[in-house]
Amino acid sequence: MDIAQELLNGSKLALSRAITAIENEHDDAVDIMKKLYPHTGNAFVFGITGPPGAGKSTLTDKLAREYRLMGKTVGIIAIDPTSPFSGGAILGDRIRMNDLTLDEGVFIRSMGTRGSLGGLSRKTADAVKAMDAFGKDIIFIETVGVGQSEVDIVKAADTTMVVLVPGLGDDIQAIKAGILEIGDVFAINKADHEGADRLNVELNMMLDLGGMTKDWRPPIKQVVANQGKGVTELITTIEEHYAHLKTTGQLTTRRTERTKNEMLDILKNGISTYITNHITASGQFDEYVKDVEDRRVDPYSVVNDILKGMLK
């Protein structure tokens, strides 16, 4: 199968196989990406993050359905943690989106983090591109919520939404750096639970204290995802942010930054592979290590010599 061509022709199987090739670093993965790349850059990429159990998948399901009613096609990448011990994972986000499985306009793919620390799979960006080239109007990236260091999502998405739930901490928790700084939109889910209004106030206070010079004050919306309450208003807010990004030119700025980061990432990967294949694989490197350990030479000088040899 010519995966890239079939994908561009609209084959879901090809899209699926393309994502696998990307994830597993098949020999043809780079070729596929090269063919798909000219067809990317059209989709609205929307990131959803937040602590575990906040209801991200349930909310994604509801948002996707609304977008479908608006006539948009949807791609969803649902990311769950890979076990650092076994390398395996339970990818259990899809279960919240069962009814979308048979919707022709929706494609859902579950991915494990497979060792990447920021909550996003390294291959997520390329999987997004595959869905983009396939023609999806909007692509959701739903990440692992492992606490306060979810900033990778900002690099991957146009608009980022943070989903919070009441009862997970007080106002000090709210002003800690990280997850709360990255939201373009905040959603308080399970808003029928006690503490929702209090959390709303605390978030607003945090936003005030930040002295944000941004031209966009992140709105806070209360929803009850599993009942579908507040979802329509949330979509309106999301669309407002996307429109704002376009009119202010920030969409271009963010995407250029994203391209830059991706290129640097590819470059670093290439260098890392080079190091593994040409430097550490050689017996010579073990000799260096021994010299350094025995204090015959220092590691900085050795590396400097290696680099000079590499870069001449």
Partner 1 sequence: MEKRIRVLVAKPGLDGHDRGAKVVARALRDAGFEVIYTGLRQTPEQIAEAALQEDVNVVAMSILSGAHAHIFPKVVNLLKGKGMDDVLVVGGGVIPESDIPALKDAGIAEVFTPGTTTGTIIDFIKANVK
How many Cβ atoms sit within 10 Å of the Cβ of residue 85? Answer: 6
Q: CA 185 → CA 104, 164, 181, 189, distances in Å?
A: 29, 11, 11, 13
CB of 33 to partner 1, least distance (A): 15
| Burial readout 224-243 (b: 16 or more C-beta within 10 A, e: otherwise) | bbeeebbbeebbebbeebbe
Exposure of 32 in the CB half-sphere (CA atoms within 13 A): 29
Q: Is 158 helix (H, G, I), strand (E, B) or coil?
A: coil
Strand, coil or helix: what is 199?
Answer: helix
- DSSP strand pairing (185-188 vs 220-222): parallel
- C-alpha to C-alpha distance for 104 and 81, rounded to whole angstroms: 28
CB of 86 to partner 1, least distance (A): 5
Cβ proximity to partner 1: between 10 and 87 the closer is 87
Decide whether 94 or 229 has the Cβ nearer to partner 1: 94
CA 106 to chain centre: 18
Whichever of 112 and 230 has its CB closer to partner 1, that residue is: 112
Of 81 and 228, the one with the shorter C-beta distance to partner 1 is 81
Shortest spacing between CB 148 and partner 1, in angstroms: 25
Query: Under the rule (CB under 8 A), what is the footprint of partner 1?
Result: 12-13, 16-17, 19-20, 23-25, 82-83, 86-92, 94-95, 98, 101-102, 107-110, 112, 114
The tally of CA atoms less than 13 A away on the side-chain side of residue 1 is: 16
CB 137, min distance to partner 1, A: 17
Closest CB to partner 1 among 103 and 240? 103
Nearest distance in Å: CB 36, partner 1: 16
- Closest CB to partner 1 among 89 and 292? 89
* Buried/exposed 103-136: b ≥16 CB within 10 Å, e otherwise: eeebbbbbbbbeebebbbbbbbbbbbbbbbbbeb
Minimum distance of partner 1 from residue 82's CB (angstroms) = 8
Edge-to-edge strand list for the sheet holding 44-49? 106-112, 74-80, 138-142, 44-49, 159-164, 185-188, 220-222
Is the Cβ of residue 59 or residue 108 nearer to partner 1 in the bound state?
108
When the beta carbons of 135 and 195 are compared against partner 1, the nearer one is 135
Q: How far apart are CA 41 and CA 10, in angstroms?
A: 17
As measured in angstroms, the least distance from the Cβ of 88 to partner 1 is 4
Question: Least distance from C-beta 249 to partner 1, angstroms?
Answer: 35
Nearer to partner 1, 108 or 199 (CB): 108
Q: How far is the CB of 172 from partner 1 (least distance, A)?
A: 35
